[in-house]
């Protein structure tokens, strides 16, 4: 079953609106959204299994918590790259890395993951946590195709995302209603996470299905083969 308009809600706000929203959200993001997402993000990082000396990319790095973990994991011989649409998030992440004394090992970019500004076959691993759901439905395969392009053969893709229930539960239906009613605030929505990764040409190595706010969540580990 392909991911299409009949199964996954569309994202209607513009990229400019998303950028402005996250620039404002960056000031207090750590107080609520990050607190809820943290344990799932950390579980995704564990499954990705980043090793010393690797080149790693995070898409949608937010305020930089995963960047810290990735930078420590690659060590002095590796390097971490990050791309995020929000300058406010970039500034918060940069400050966090500077406080930890790790900023010299990280390259941060403001941009759109629909067209990653990196060479093909460059990264050993790519990490996307609570970000893939923010892209409009037709963009999801584009973003995953870009991930596949920049990964070397054997490279890993780690995705943490809200996913569609089969059948959808009460909380999922309520959340999707809020997404349609207030798209500027309930900006993300459940997607077919593991299915999308597989359809993008990755070999699924592990899929863990969890729950957050009584909604289904997937942690997906894919490999470029």
With H, G, I as helix, E, B as strand and everything else as coil, classify residue 57: strand
Q: What is the pTM of this model?
A: 0.90
Tokens describing residue 104: 């010299």
pLDDT, mean of residues 44-53: 98
Strand partners, 210: 217
Cβ-Cβ contacts under 8 Å for 24 (sequence gap 6 or more): 88
d(CA 49, CA 209): 18
Q: Which residue blocks in 75-188 are alpha helix, DSSP H?
A: 87-99, 139-150, 170-181
With H, G, I as helix, E, B as strand and everything else as coil, classify residue 62: coil
Residue 37 has pLDDT above 60, yes or no: yes
pLDDT digits (tens, 9 = 90+) for 177-193: 676 777 666 677 899 99
Q: Lowest-confidence range among 16-30, 147-161, 187-201, 204-218?
A: 16-30
pLDDT digits (tens, 9 = 90+) for 57-91: 999 999 999 999 999 999 999 999 999 999 999 99
β-strands 123-129, 151-162: how paired?
parallel
pLDDT in the model for residue 176: 76
Domains contained in the chain, CATH given: 15-224 (3.40.50.150)
pLDDT digits (tens, 9 = 90+) for 86-134: 999 999 999 999 999 999 999 999 999 999 999 999 999 999 999 999 9
């Amino acid at each position: 079953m392909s991911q299409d308009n009949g199964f996954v809600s569309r994202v209607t706000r513009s990229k400019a609106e998303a950028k402005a929203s996250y620039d404002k959200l960056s000031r207090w993001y750590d107080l609520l959204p990050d607190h809820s997402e943290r344990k799932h993000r950390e579980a995704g990082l564990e499954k990705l299994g980043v090793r010393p000396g690797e080149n790693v990319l995070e898409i949608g790095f937010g305020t930089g918590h995963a960047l810290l973990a990735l930078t420590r994991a690659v060590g002095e011989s590796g390097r971490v790259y990050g791309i995020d649409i929000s300058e406010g998030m970039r500034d918060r992440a940069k400050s966090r890395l500077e406080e930890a004394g790790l900023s010299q090992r990280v390259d941060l970019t403001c941009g759109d993951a629909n067209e990653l500004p990196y060479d093909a076959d460059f990264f050993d691993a790519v990490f996307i946590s609570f970000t893939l759901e923010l892209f409009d439905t037709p963009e999801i395969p584009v973003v995953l195709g870009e991930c596949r392009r920049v990964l070397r053969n054997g490279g890993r893709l780690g995705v943490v995302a809200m996913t569609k229930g089969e059948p959808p539960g009460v909380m999922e239906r309520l959340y999707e209603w809020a997404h349609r009613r207030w798209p500027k605030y309930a900006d993300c929505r459940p997607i077919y996470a593991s299915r999308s990764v597989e359809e993008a040409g990755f070999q699924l190595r592990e899929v863990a299905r969890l729950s957050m706010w009584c909604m289904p969540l997937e942690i997906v580990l894919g490999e470029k083969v």
